[in-house]
Structure 1
Amino acid sequence: MRRVFGWSSVCGLFVGMASASAQTEPAPEPTPTPTQSLPGITVTATKMDEERSAILPSLGATKYDFSRTAIQNTPQGQDAPLNQVLLRAPGVVQDGFGQIHVRGDHGSLQYRLDGVQLPEGLSLFSQVLSPRFANSLSLLTGALPAQYGLRTAGVVDIGVKSGTTNPGADLSFMGGSYNWVQPSGEYGGRSGNIDYYAAGQYLSNNIGIENPFSAWTPIHDQTSQWYALGKVTGIIDENTRLSFIGGGVNASYQIPNNINQVPNFTVFGNSTWDSSILDQRQWESTYFGIASLQKTYQDFNMQLSGFARYSQLNYQPDAIGDLLYNGIAPWAQRTSFAAGVQGDTSWKVAPKHTLRSGFLVQRERVTSFAQVNTLPLVPDPSDPDAPFIPGDTTVGLTDSADLTGWTYSVYLQDEWKVLPTLTVNGGLRFDAITSPRNEYQFSPRINVVWEPTPEISLRAGYSRYFVPVPLNQVSVSSLAARAGTVAAPEVLTNDAARAERSDYIDVGLTVKPVDGLTVGFSGFYKWAENYIDKGQFGAPIFQTAFNYSNAQVRGFELFANYDKGPWSLYANLAWSQVNSINIISSQFNFEQAELDFIANNWIFADHNQSWTGSAGAAYVFNMDSDYATRVSADMLYGNGLRQTLVTPNDTALPPYATLNLSVTQRLPISGSKGTNVRFDAINVTDGQYQLRTGTGVGVGAPQFGMRRAFFVTLSQKF
C-alpha cells in the first residue's frame, strides 16, 4: 500500500545507518528459498503482509524505519539490546536501567508484534524483545492516528521474522569485555502451508545494571538471561491466514554495590558495614503469546487476535545490609497477568475513502506480597519527651495487594484522498478503564498530508490522548502496616493515580533535494493534565507511577541522511523541554517540603534532556564480492538528565558523547552459506559519563554509562 505521508518512505531508513540499502550489507551467497518450490504460497504470504500493513498504516505519524541492515550497522548488530537500536532515532533519550524516553515522556511506549499490542509488563532491567526477532522494526511518534492508543509516546512496531524471510539456520557467538558470553541461534523454514521460525539467545556478563560509580568494573553486577521466540503461520487459503507467536525472557540480576557508603541505622548493636559486600538480587520473567486470524475479501481486510502476557518480579534483600542502610529489608514478589482480544479492519468503501475500525478488550490482574523486616520507632531513653528514635532490633510485617482492571477501546477513522497530492485522515477513539479509578475519554484525531511533488512532503496533525496508568505500576503499599516503624512515610496521603489526558500537535517537512539525500524537520507541542511520571522508590526495584496536575512538553527534531552506493551517512539533533507542576497522587513517596515546592512551582521533569543527538557513517569495501568488508562508526550525545542540588530537578547533569566503531568481514569459506566475523568497540574514548546521581524527583540510585568495551562475534549460516 502507498504510504500517504512521504516521511515513512523517504526517511524511514535514516536512523542508525538505516539509510544503508540491502546492497551495502556484505551479501550472503544465494541460497534456495521456499519461493523456488512454493511460489503460490510465497506470493500469498507476501500479499497478506501487505494487507496487514493496510489495516494499520502510519497515516501522517512520524515514522522511523530500521531495516535489517540498519540493525547490523548498530554496535553489536542484532545481538544489541533493543533500546540501543532505538537510541539511534531522533528524540530518544537514554536513561538508567536500560530505559529510554521518547519526546519527553517517561515510558508510555507500546510494543506491537505483527500489529498486535502487547500488554505492559513488569520487567525493568530486562529487554523482553530483541532486534534478532525483527524482520522489520519501526518507531512511530507524533500525532498518531486513531488505531494507536493507551501508550502514545511512541509505538515500537516489530514485524516478526518468518521461515520465508529467514530460511535455514543461523548460529552466532559473541564474547568480550565484562566476561560477556552471548550464544544465539535462529531457525526458519516451511513445510507445505505451514511456515515456522524460532530464535533464542543466552546472555551472561558482569554488568547487568549500570555501575553506581565511575570505575570500569562494577561490584556484584552479574546477570544471566535467556530469551526465546517462536512463530508458526498457516495459510488456509489465498485470503486466510492463522498465526501464533510465543516467547519469553527469564533473567537474574545482582544489584551492583556502591562503595564507601555509611549506614543510616544501627541493627543489633552494629552500625558499621562494608557497602561493597551487599548481596541484593532481583529476578524478572515475562512470557507472552499471540494468536491471530487474518482475512481479506475484495476491498475488506481484518485481523482478529487474542493475546496474553505473564510477568513476575522477585526481590531478595541483603538481610542485614538493607536494614543498616534503608531501615527496611523486604522479600517481595509482584506478578501480573493480562489477556485480551484485539480486532482491526480496513474497508475501501469508495475510490477516495478508506474506513478503518477496531477494538481492544483486556483484563489484567496484579498481585503483590512482601515479607518485611524493619526497625521500630522507640522512645529515646535519654530523653522520654523527645521524638521517637529508631530501635536496633527488628519487627516483621506483611504487605499484600490484589488489583484487577479492565481496558476497553474502540476507534473509527476515514482516510480521505481529497486530491492526488492531499490526504486527510480523521478519526475518533474511545477508551475506558476500571481500577484503581474508573475513567473514560473520547479522543478525536486528524492528520493532513500534502505532497506537492515526490520530493516534498508536509504534514500537520492533532491528537487527543488518554493514557491510563499501568496497573502493575500502581502504588499498593500499606501505609497503616508500617506505622510506628522507620518505614512509615513522612506524608500519609496516597491518592490513586489517574489517567493522563493531553492535546498533542505535530508538524513536519521532508525534502529530497538530490538523489540519495533526505533532510527533514518535525516540531511538536503537548499540553497534559494528570501528567504521568514514574519513579523508583526503594526496593524491590520497579517503577511506581504518580501524576503531576499539569505538564507542557515541546520540542523539535532535525535530521539528514545520505544513502547511495557503498556509503550510508546519517545525523540527527533533537531539542525538547518538559515542565510540570503539583504532584497529585502517590504523595507518600515524597517528602512534604518537596511536595510543597512542586505544588507552587513549575519544575523540569527528572527525565528531561534538552539536547539529544546521534550521527553515524558506514562504508562497504568490495560490496559486490564474497569478501565484502563493512566498517561503521556512530556517536550518541546527550546534555544530561536532571538532578537536584537546591530545588527539585534544578540542574542538568554534565553533557556526554560516546563514540562506537564496528567492522564486519565476510569470509568466503567453501561450502558455507555465510560466515562473518565482527568486531565492535563501544565508548572508544573511554568517556566517564553519569546518567543519574541518585537525586531528583523519583530517582533512586546513581548510575554511570558503560566504560570502553570490546566484543567479537562469529556467525555462521547453514
Structure 2
Amino acid sequence: MSRRVIRQWGLLACTALTAIATIPARAADPAPEVRLAPDGGLALPEIETVAKRLDAARSKIQPSLGATVYDFGRTTLETLPQGDQSQLQQVLLQAPGVATDSFGQVHIRNEHNNVQYRLDGVQLPEGLSVFGQALETRFAHSVSLITGALPAQYGFRQAGVVDITTKSGTTDPGGQIIMYGGARSTLQPSFEYGGRSGAVDYFVSGDDLHSNSGIENPANRFNANHDTTDQFRGFAHITGLLDDTTRISLLAGSFHGDYQIPNQGGNQPQLGLTVNGTSDFNSATLGEHQRELTQFGILSLQKQWGDVNLQASYFTRYSSLYYTPDPLGDLLFTGVAQTAARSSWANGVQTDASWRVNDRHTLRAGVLAQIERSVGNSNSLVLPVDANGVQTTDTPFALNDSSSKTGAMYGVYLQDEWRILSNVTINYGARFDVVDEYTHDQDASPRVNVVWQATPTTTIHGGYARYFTPPPFELVGNATITKLLGTTAAAATTQDSVAKAERSHYFDAGIGQVIIPGLTVGVDAYYKRAHNLIDEGQFGSPILLTAFNYAKAQQDGVGLSSSYVQGPLSLYGNLAYSRGIGKGITSAQFNFSADELAYISQHYVHLDHDQRWTGSGGAAYTLNDGTNSPTRLSADLLVESGLRRDGATPNGSALPGYYTINLSVVQKLNVFDGRPSELRLDVINLLDRRYEIRDGTGIGVGAAQYGLRRTVLAGLTQRF
C-alpha cells in the first residue's frame, strides 16, 4: 500500500460527523418524557426518540413546498445497477430532465452545471473538480433532486438542488466490507460502519478505486488509451445530543483523484510547428495528467424551542486542481504546453430557522455568508511568432503567470407558508443576494408557490421565482492574454469582459396524480427567460471549465414521470423535452473566433448542452422476497437524443441519439448467522451500444467523447 493511501486512510480514521434521516411532519411533536440512565445520560430508547424528533424538526426548517421533487430512498439506491458503487451523477440521470455529458457532467433542465449540493440541509460550496466528485452514493441514506420554482431558501445555484441525507448509526447501523471490480482493471475495495455510543451517533465510510477507465474515451474503440485513474474518498459523520432539544454534528469528507488524460492514436500535428528540430509526434504517445483534491467539513448546531426550530452551521471547503502537459506533444498539437495549478478555499456560515406561528402560518428565515480565496498559477511553454503568425524559432520559452483573489457572497431570505384553505397553501417570500468577487452585483428575488390538494389523490402546483446567479469564481485575466501575444498561444481576440451575474424569470407548473395504490404519474412544465445566462466551456488543454455569458437566453421544457411499487416489484419511467437558446457573447470573448462572435451577436444559437429529448426507466423484482436468501433482479434504461455539435452554424446540428441498458443481479446469502453476505453482478451497457457524447465541435467543447462500452463488474459484501 502506497504512503499516499496510508495517509488518506489515516485521515479518514480521524474524521468524524453525523447523519440525519429526514422525516416529514407538519405539527410540532410533543417532547417525550426523558429518563436518565444510571450514568446520568439519556437512556438509549429515549435517545433514539429524541434523534428522530430532531430529524423531523429539521425537515420543517427547509421544506421544498411547491417545487418539483424526485426522491431516491435507500431501497431505490440499492436497487439501481452498481448500488452504492454507482456515481452520484449516474443516480441523477434516472430523474426526469437530467442529461449526461462528458467528464461525468450532468445537465438539469438544460442548464450547464448551476447545481447546488446540500448535506443534511447545509449548502456545500462549489469546488474545482472536473472529473471527480467528493460526494458519493455510498454515504447517502437518501437523495432528493429539487427543481422548478424553488422556495426562497435556495439561492446562488438554482438549476437543481441535490439534497443528500447522509447515513447515520441510527438509520444504518452495523458495518460492511465490500470488494468490487472487474473489467478494465477495475478494483474498488470499500467499507462503512455506523453505530451509537450513548448520546453519540457515528458513521464512517471510505473507498479506494483503481481503473483503466477514468475519463470518457476520445476514440471510437472498446478500450481507451492512457486512461488510468486512482481515486480515494473518505467520509465521516458524528452527532452528539447535548439535551433533548439540542444536538451538535460534525461532518467531513475527502477526495483525491489522479487521472491520465486519454488520447487518440494515429494523429499528427497540423499546425506546422517545429520544436527543437522535431515536427512529428504520434498522438498515441501523449502523456497528460490531472490531479484533483477536495476536502470539506461542516459543523452544525440544531436547537428546538417548541414551535421554533433553528440550525446554524459553519462550513469549509478546500479544492485544488493540477494539470501537467506533455511538453513536446502539447506544444506541437496546440501551440502551448501549459502546466496549470488552481486552488480555492471557501469558508462560511449558514443559519436557517422556522417558526410555526399557528395552524395557518409558518415563517422561515435564514442567512448565508461565504468568503472564498482563489489562487491560480501557470507556466506556459510557447514558441515566438511574427506579425503574420509564422514561427520565428524552434526554441520554446516559458511564460509564468499567477493570480489570486478573495471574494464573498451573501444572501438572506424571509418567507411565509400560508394555508389559506384546508387544501390550498401559498409559500411566498423573497431573498436578497450580494456577490463581491470578480464581478460586483446584487439583486432581490421574489418567490411564490401555490399548492392545491384538489383531491386526496391529485396535487396541483404552480410557481414563479426570480433567480440571481453569480458566475463561478474564476477568471483568465487580460494580463494573461497580453503576455501570450506574439506567441503560438495568442488568442484570436484580446477582449475579455468579466463574467457577469445571471438574472432570470422562472415559471413552473405541474400536477401529480395517484392512479391506483402504488401507481403515481406526474407532469411538470417550465419556462425560463434569462439575461446574461451563464454557460461554461472547456477551451484549453488544462481540463478547466471557463464561464461566459449569453446576453439573452430562453429555456423551456416539460417532463413526465411515473412510478409503480407493489410488493417485490417496482417500475419507473420518465420522459422530458427541453429547448435552450442564447444570443450574444458578453464575457470571456477571447475564447471565441471573430466569426463566432459576429454570428452569435446577431442570431440565437442552441446551447451546446441543449438536448431535445431525454428518457429513463427501470424495473426491479425480488425473488424469494421475505426469506433469508432473496435474489434481486434490476435493470435501468437511459435514452438521449444527442447533444449539440457544429453544423452550418455554431451548435447548428445534433449528435445521433442513443440508448443504453444496465443490468444487475444481487444474491443475498446467510452464510454467517446474523451476518449476511451479498454477491452482485453488474453489466453496464448490456448491449454494447456504440455512442458518441461529444464529437469535439460546438461552443466550448474541447474533445470528442464516447460512452463506456460493455463493462462487467462483480462484488462481494460482508456485513458485520
Q: Specify the TM-score bucket, using the shorter chain as the normaliser.
A: over 0.9
| Distance change >3 Å, CA 517–CA 603, structure 1 → 2 | same
Out of 352, 357, 363, which is 1:344 matched to? 352
Matches within 5 A, 1:315-464: 315-378=323-386, 388-389=390-391, 391-464=393-466
Structure 1: how far apart are the matches of 2:313 and 2:221?
48
Out of 194, 217, 222, which is 1:211 matched to? 217
| Distance change >3 Å, CA 366–CA 387, structure 1 → 2 | closer
Pair 1:88 & 2:94 matched: yes
Structure 1: how far apart are the matches of 2:439 and 2:185?
47
| Distance change >3 Å, CA 185–CA 86, structure 1 → 2 | same
| Residue 121 (structure 1) aligns with | 127
Matches within 5 A, 1:155-234: 155-234=161-240
Paired AA for residue 360 in structure 1:
L
Structure 1: how far apart are the matches of 2:642 and 2:404?
38
| Residue 292 (structure 1) aligns with | 300
| Residue 20 (structure 2) aligns with | none
How far residue 474 of structure 1 moved from its aligned partner, in angstroms, is: 6.3
Which stretch shifts more, 417-426 or 467-476?
467-476
SS at match of 2:46: helix
How far residue 260 of structure 1 moved from its aligned partner, in angstroms, is: 1.9
1:625-679: CA deviation from partner (whole Å, max 9, x where unpaired): 0110000111100010000122100011000000111110011213242211010
| Residue 586 (structure 1) aligns with | 588
| Residue 621 (structure 2) aligns with | 619
Q: Is the 8 A contact 1:390 1:486 kept in 2?
A: no
How far residue 389 of structure 1 moved from its aligned partner, in angstroms, is: 3.7
How far residue 206 of structure 1 moved from its aligned partner, in angstroms, is: 0.3
Structure 1: how far apart are the matches of 2:222 and 2:43?
53
Q: Which has the higher contact order (CA 8 A, sep 6+)?
A: 1
| Residue 310 (structure 2) aligns with | 302
Q: Is the 8 A contact 1:643 1:652 kept in 2?
A: yes
Paired AA for residue 137 in structure 1:
V
Pair 1:98 & 2:100 matched: no
Paired AA for residue 281 in structure 1:
H
Taking only the aligned residue pairs, the percentage that are identical comes to 49
Q: Is the 8 A contact 1:475 1:545 kept in 2?
A: no
Pair 1:241 & 2:252 matched: no
Pair 1:598 & 2:600 matched: yes
Which stretch shifts more, 162-171 or 665-674?
665-674
Paired AA for residue 399 in structure 2:
L
Q: Is the 8 A contact 1:75 1:660 kept in 2?
A: yes
Paired AA for residue 692 in structure 2:
Q
Paired AA for residue 645 in structure 2:
Q
| Distance change >3 Å, CA 623–CA 335, structure 1 → 2 | same
How far residue 100 of structure 1 moved from its aligned partner, in angstroms, is: 0.2
Pair 1:568 & 2:570 matched: yes
| Distance change >3 Å, CA 139–CA 394, structure 1 → 2 | same
SS at match of 1:320: helix
| Distance change >3 Å, CA 247–CA 475, structure 1 → 2 | farther
How far residue 477 of structure 1 moved from its aligned partner, in angstroms, is: 6.6
1:230-251: CA deviation from partner (whole Å, max 9, x where unpaired): 1110000010000000111000
Unaligned runs of 5+ in 1: 5-35, 380-385
How far residue 459 of structure 1 moved from its aligned partner, in angstroms, is: 0.2
| Distance change >3 Å, CA 390–CA 451, structure 1 → 2 | farther
Structure 2: how far apart are the matches of 1:98 and 1:254?
15
How far residue 267 of structure 1 moved from its aligned partner, in angstroms, is: 1.3
SS at match of 2:524: strand
SS at match of 1:667: strand
Q: Is the 8 A contact 1:642 1:649 kept in 2?
A: yes
1:272-313: CA deviation from partner (whole Å, max 9, x where unpaired): 111101110000000000000000001100000000000010
1:670-698: CA deviation from partner (whole Å, max 9, x where unpaired): 32422110101111111110000110000
Which stretch shifts more, 186-195 or 263-272?
263-272
Unaligned runs of 5+ in 2: 1-22, 27-41
Q: Is the 8 A contact 2:478 2:494 kept in 1?
A: no
Q: Is the 8 A contact 2:25 2:59 kept in 1?
A: no
| Distance change >3 Å, CA 645–CA 389, structure 1 → 2 | farther
Pair 1:609 & 2:611 matched: yes
Structure 1: how far apart are the matches of 2:329 and 2:43?
64
TM value normalised by structure 1 = 0.93
| Residue 281 (structure 2) aligns with | 273
| Residue 708 (structure 2) aligns with | 706
SS at match of 1:377: coil
Structure 1: how far apart are the matches of 2:139 and 2:366?
26
Which stretch shifts more, 267-276 or 570-579?
267-276
Matches within 5 A, 1:11-22: none
SS at match of 2:89: helix
Structure 2: how far apart are the matches of 1:493 and 1:3?
54
Structure 2: how far apart are the matches of 1:676 and 1:387?
63
Paired AA for residue 124 in structure 1:
V
Q: Is the 8 A contact 1:68 1:136 kept in 2?
A: yes
Which stretch shifts more, 185-194 or 650-659?
185-194
The RMSD of aligned alpha carbons is 1.3
SS at match of 1:125: coil
Q: Is the 8 A contact 1:336 1:472 kept in 2?
A: no
Structure 2: how far apart are the matches of 1:360 and 1:474?
27
Q: Is the 8 A contact 2:145 2:162 kept in 1?
A: yes
Out of 655, 677, 696, which is 1:675 matched to? 677
Structure 2: how far apart are the matches of 1:204 and 1:432?
42
Matches within 5 A, 1:69-80: 69-80=75-86
SS at match of 1:471: coil
| Distance change >3 Å, CA 410–CA 272, structure 1 → 2 | same
Structure 2: how far apart are the matches of 1:211 and 1:452?
50
Paired AA for residue 281 in structure 2:
W
Q: Is the 8 A contact 2:478 2:496 kept in 1?
A: no
Paired AA for residue 221 in structure 2:
A
Pair 1:546 & 2:548 matched: yes
